[in-house]
Structure 1
Amino acid sequence: MKNIFVILIVSILGFGFYPHNKEIPLHPENKKSKWVDSIYNGMTIQEKVGQLFMVAAYSNRDKNHVDSIEKLIKDYKIGGLIFFQGGPVRQANLTNRYQSMAKVPLLIGMDAEWGLNMRLDSTVRYPYNMTLGAIKNNDLIKKIGSEIGKHCKRLGVHLNFAPVVDINTNSNNPIIGVRSFGEDKLNVANKAMAFTEGMQRQGIMACAKHFPGHGDTDKDSHKTLPTVSFSKERIDSVELYPYKELFKIGISGVMVAHLNVPSLEPTNGLPSSLSYNVVTNILKKQLEYKGLVFTDALNMKGAANYEEPGDIDLAAFKAGNDVLLFTENAPRAISKIIAAYHDNEITEERLAHSVKKILEAKYEANLNHFKPIDTEHLVNDLNGVINQTLNEEAFSEAITAIKNNKQVLPVNVSKQEKIAYVKLGDGDYGDFISELKLGMNVHDLTGLPIKKLLKALKKYDKVIIGYHRLNYRLTDVMSDDDKKVIEVISKKNKVILDVFASQYCLKQVSLKYIQGVIVSYENSELAQKVSAQIILGKKEAIGKLPASFNEEFVAGYGIKI
């Protein structure tokens, strides 16, 4: 009893001597709320509305462009920038310049779906999503997402408008195509989650796009308003599936597309980006998404054709979007929203909801302690050896064999067979043929007229045909001329066809007489070298088709060699 009394006295004395004027440390969430509230409460209505806008910035344009951005920052208090074409050092210098004149630090975003090289010179490009979709090892996708995140962080970019989670079930899709991980919702979701986890682990916000799903369209929303004719049930079970999975792991952002979706929005021709039902009722209420909601670029014709500049932005905000991206006329749009606020069309609660979410994102990006970007060694830092390693690993796991009759692959070089090479398509093939020549005696017969070619090929035991596409983002079918050459040669010779383009290019090609077929997806230097090594037996082929191109060769198909 005596011991308890002593403990009680000591406790009371301890409290008596506690310095009451010392502030008790705040929980991280309380610190964030305190910072957000302090910034928000000190803002004018124009400053609040300005936060809703991320405008397009370029590092390869003239002084007039730079002056126009500076004016929007100083006079209209815009909240952020989305950088497009240019170079890393130029962009870093401009970011420092723009940040120095912003009252509230700017949120910096970029489209870096396959790395900074999507927009910038002197930077690294990773394979397109469709190529990554052929890989079974999702840890590799996570590593790539992490490395892209590191590059963004080094450049002062806080938000990457990636991953694309559209499920490409339409092979004629003119805008998504190879930007998609494929046509299987499970594969798309798994790849998107791995990419997101890798990138957000580096402190970079990911943004899934294009909600509610742009994968089965045959028109480009940059040019017109595409229609998605699926039922509400189909969209919920397929197109929305990756979003639901990404929400479970806390993805930071979602971008809403400009689509006509009659099953989700009854107003004829109203783009999904301007639809209260799509943005608020479905995305925010039904799916309970709490992160930042971005419009797709509001200068795209899918939205721009619906309303005048300014009116589009107001409609998008009323629909429930938090951030209005790439507006055509920021001053006019800001004044429209301010006028709607004063006319009680927009409540203070609605405005605070979005602006505080934007400020919270800025806090999470450490913009409450902004530090200028160090440009020393910037280009070197963005081009480390690991990028080459990861790229080679990606192609080694993605390249897919889909035919191997009579074990024509890999080529048995010990037999000392006479092998001919014929190149088709408009792309370069130098790295492929050079790599083949390191391991076999192969003769390049490219460029011979078809009659002379067929005659010359009679002397050879095997023919390797490489189809090399200059722009391998294209998903178009192969030209009739190239298709005929392949079909004629394969009827009279043992042929291995290697396609350095999307698998979709094979849609109209008869593969009946071809003994070996490899899909290498891209015509890059690494894709050519790795593919040649597979033909030579130096590497395995373990990839699986990310999307079908006919009824025989479907998503998930692939032969291990």
Structure 2
Amino acid sequence: MERSQMKQMPEDKNTFLVSKESLSLRQKTGQLFMPAVFINDTEEEVQKMEKLIQEHHIGSICFFHSRASAATNFEGKKKVVHNEKSLDRLKQLIYRYQKAAKIPLLIAMDAEWGLAMRIENTPQYPYAITLGASTNSISTLEEIGLRIGLDCKEAGINWNLAPVVDINNNPENPVIGYRSFGDDKNEVLSRASAFTEGMSKAGILNSIKHFPGHGDTATDSHLGLPVIDKSLQQLNENELFPFNGLIKKGVDSVMVGHLLVPQLDAEEPSTTSHIIITELLRNQLGFKGVIISDALNMHAVSKKYPEKGKLEATAFEAGMDVLCFSENVEEGIETILKTSSKVRIEESFERIWHLKEKVFLNKVSEKIHSTKNHQQLNRLAAEQSLTELYGNPDVVQDIKSSKFLNLWVGSPTQNLFSSKIHEEQRNEPWELTSSLIADEEKMKVSQNVVLAVFPPQVKPKGSFGFSSEQLELIKQLVQTKNVLLYLFGNPFALDLFDLDSTANAVMVYQDFEVFQEVAYQHFMGLLKASGRLPVKLKTFNP
């Protein structure tokens, strides 16, 4: 088959042959658009999308869970209804949407920690911050990237909008935090590189994000426009470092975040900035691949452009190739056709067509497989990331060898760690509550405490989901007892507990069953902690 043609073989074995030379300029403009689609949409909405794909020659679609998920429910006011059969539904919709398309669609999803980021009952892998804590883990990271890629491939996803390569240098970042590999630019680069290499082996496209760097902000770009007030020299020294390194290694696409960088462009956010997209990313960094926008429905940019199609056309003219989560496809196509040149449209179309050739013509060998399943990889990650933050190691040994209080606090899916202590040592677990603190008989059992902490949320907003009462109880406990704290969540939560330099904590990062098992083995002295904290905490520095 000639490279100017493309072949797709859906399940019904129909064959589609498309010559790019036969496409009109309007059809090529449709290829620039990546509207959002929702796994748990109504039949009416699905049919509307099928019609949009068919009539406007859409180039790609991006799957989200539902219209009540974070993709549109920025304030978190809508209730997300879970669907145990979301994966089956996803596959059905991919088939329908591909069938509606004259040109095979690129099917995208954010699967940073696997399909579980969007789909129930699918393998979930550790967050990037956990993988950033792992030592001797580059091979594990590549294997996780491969495994996630194979999961995507089996589901029908061919473009994973991952990994995040933002530097995690602001502990109050409300949207990046746990999604970043850490605050060390070299570690972020090496880990992101391993992850993308694994995905590429599975034949899955990648997208490094959020250019030029979304890490150093306390504003959620879903709700407002973050400001990164740094010079180009400062950005080159830190934020741009992993982008530059990965571009030189070769990546499929770069996602541009919604950020205002006034020292580079005081007028336009990065989404619509010719200076940032074309002059910096395309020309100075020499990126030749596809540049994709972050979701255009996000308030950081959508509120600035109330006229339908104007945002899409402005972003495109600034240098964007793919317009993700455009809510105004028809108007966007019309505006681009009116305001952009044929040469400009052809440039972006050729880049997108190249990705389609890579996916649909360069078939990856079916023999590619992972040597480990997702549970085995999660165990490896758990063992390699476990991090001791000991201010007074002698106290740790005293606690473990004594009759200690077995306490827990937070919202665990299941508390296997405390239960295992009870099962093996007949040490009953108690939830840390005001009534427990008031129960002098129970609290007099020991001056020593093992406290398992399960933050209700992974994001810092609202103190990671802890109530003010829970935080006060933890603070009271660490001030009056000898406490060994195991944290099954975001390490930045440690800053909430008023720990001093003599405090002892163990970072477990996730509350998966296998992570809790590994934490218990560590507690029993059967496993040494080899992880390192991937970020700097504000207050707790043992």
Matches within 5 A, 1:240-389: 240-267=240-267, 270-307=268-305, 308-340=307-339, 346-366=340-360, 386-389=373-376
Q: Contact 1:55/1:81 (CA < 8 Å) preserved in 2?
A: yes
Flag the structure with larger Rg: 1
Unaligned runs of 5+ in 2: 8-16, 67-85
Amino acid in structure 1 at the alignment position of 2:46: V
SS at match of 1:306: coil
Distance 1:144 1:90, change over 3 A: same
Distance 1:429 1:158, change over 3 A: closer
Counterpart CA distance in 1 for 2:499 and 2:399 is 22
Distance 1:134 1:406, change over 3 A: closer
Q: Contact 2:495/2:540 (CA < 8 Å) preserved in 1?
A: no
Q: Contact 2:173/2:460 (CA < 8 Å) preserved in 1?
A: no
Matches within 5 A, 1:524-543: 524-543=512-531
Select which of 480, 490, 498 maps to 1:502: 490
Q: CA deviation at 1:368?
A: 8.6
Residue matched to 1:430:
415
Q: CA deviation at 1:495?
A: 1.6
Residue matched to 1:10:
none
Q: CA deviation at 1:168?
A: 1.4
Amino acid in structure 2 at the alignment position of 1:418: K
Question: Higher mean Cα deviation, 102-111 or 86-95?
Answer: 86-95
Amino acid in structure 2 at the alignment position of 1:524: F
Matches within 5 A, 1:137-148: 137-148=137-148
CA RMSD of aligned residues (A): 2.7
Q: CA deviation at 1:367?
A: 5.5
SS at match of 2:478: helix
1:520 aligns to 2:508 (yes or no): yes
Select which of 370, 381, 384 maps to 1:397: 384
Residue matched to 2:81:
none
Residue matched to 1:210:
210
Q: CA deviation at 1:330?
A: 0.8
Distance 1:515 1:228, change over 3 A: closer
Residue matched to 2:221:
221
Amino acid in structure 1 at the alignment position of 2:344: R
Q: CA deviation at 1:314?
A: 0.4
Residue matched to 2:156:
156
Q: Contact 2:405/2:445 (CA < 8 Å) preserved in 1?
A: no
Select which of 532, 535, 539 maps to 1:544: 532
Counterpart CA distance in 1 for 2:101 and 2:362 is 12
TM-score for the superposition, normalised by structure 1: 0.85
Amino acid in structure 1 at the alignment position of 2:26: Q
Q: CA deviation at 1:283?
A: 0.3
Counterpart CA distance in 1 for 2:468 and 2:511 is 20
Q: Contact 2:486/2:508 (CA < 8 Å) preserved in 1?
A: yes
Q: CA deviation at 1:312?
A: 0.4
Distance 1:404 1:45, change over 3 A: same
Distance 1:280 1:456, change over 3 A: same
Distance 1:120 1:41, change over 3 A: same
Residue matched to 2:3:
32
Counterpart CA distance in 2 for 1:391 and 1:473 is 21
Please list the CA deviations of residues 92-139 of structure 1 after superposition, one character each: whole Å capped at 9, or x if unmatched: 111112112211111110000110010111211111111111012211
Q: Contact 2:257/2:293 (CA < 8 Å) preserved in 1?
A: yes
Q: Contact 1:166/1:215 (CA < 8 Å) preserved in 2?
A: yes
SS at match of 1:140: helix
Q: Contact 1:292/1:323 (CA < 8 Å) preserved in 2?
A: yes
Q: Contact 2:221/2:258 (CA < 8 Å) preserved in 1?
A: yes
Q: Contact 1:55/1:82 (CA < 8 Å) preserved in 2?
A: yes
Q: Contact 2:411/2:456 (CA < 8 Å) preserved in 1?
A: yes
Residue matched to 2:45:
65
Q: Contact 1:70/1:98 (CA < 8 Å) preserved in 2?
A: yes
Counterpart CA distance in 2 for 1:302 and 1:513 is 40
Q: Contact 2:419/2:429 (CA < 8 Å) preserved in 1?
A: no
Please list the CA deviations of residues 228-285 of structure 1 after superposition, one character each: whole Å capped at 9, or x if unmatched: 1112211111100001111122111100011111011132xx2101101100000000
Select which of 414, 420, 427 maps to 1:442: 427
Please list the CA deviations of residues 376-428 of structure 1 after superposition, one character each: whole Å capped at 9, or x if unmatched: xxxxxx99971111111111111211016244446887x5x322112222434
Q: State the percentage of identical aligned residues.
A: 35
Q: CA deviation at 1:366?
A: 1.4
Counterpart CA distance in 1 for 2:482 and 2:213 is 43
Q: Contact 1:409/1:535 (CA < 8 Å) preserved in 2?
A: no
Counterpart CA distance in 1 for 2:4 and 2:395 is 65
Counterpart CA distance in 2 for 1:397 and 1:369 is 34
Select which of 48, 51, 54 maps to 1:74: 54
Q: Contact 1:428/1:470 (CA < 8 Å) preserved in 2?
A: no
Amino acid in structure 2 at the alignment position of 1:32: R
Q: Contact 1:491/1:513 (CA < 8 Å) preserved in 2?
A: no
Q: Contact 1:53/1:78 (CA < 8 Å) preserved in 2?
A: yes
TM-score for the superposition, normalised by structure 2: 0.87
Distance 1:368 1:39, change over 3 A: farther
Distance 1:266 1:512, change over 3 A: closer
Q: Contact 2:4/2:19 (CA < 8 Å) preserved in 1?
A: no
Amino acid in structure 2 at the alignment position of 1:392: R
1:468 aligns to 2:454 (yes or no): yes
Counterpart CA distance in 1 for 2:393 and 2:98 is 63
Distance 1:60 1:35, change over 3 A: closer
Q: Contact 1:207/1:252 (CA < 8 Å) preserved in 2?
A: yes
Q: Contact 1:164/1:208 (CA < 8 Å) preserved in 2?
A: yes
Amino acid in structure 1 at the alignment position of 2:481: N
Select which of 16, 23, 31 maps to 1:43: 23
Distance 1:58 1:35, change over 3 A: closer
Q: Contact 2:406/2:430 (CA < 8 Å) preserved in 1?
A: yes
Q: CA deviation at 1:479?
A: 5.0
Q: CA deviation at 1:441?
A: 3.3
Amino acid in structure 2 at the alignment position of 1:107: L
SS at match of 1:217: coil
Counterpart CA distance in 2 for 1:485 and 1:514 is 19
Residue matched to 1:21:
none
Residue matched to 1:17:
none
Distance 1:369 1:203, change over 3 A: closer
Number of matched pairs: 507
Amino acid in structure 1 at the alignment position of 2:289: G
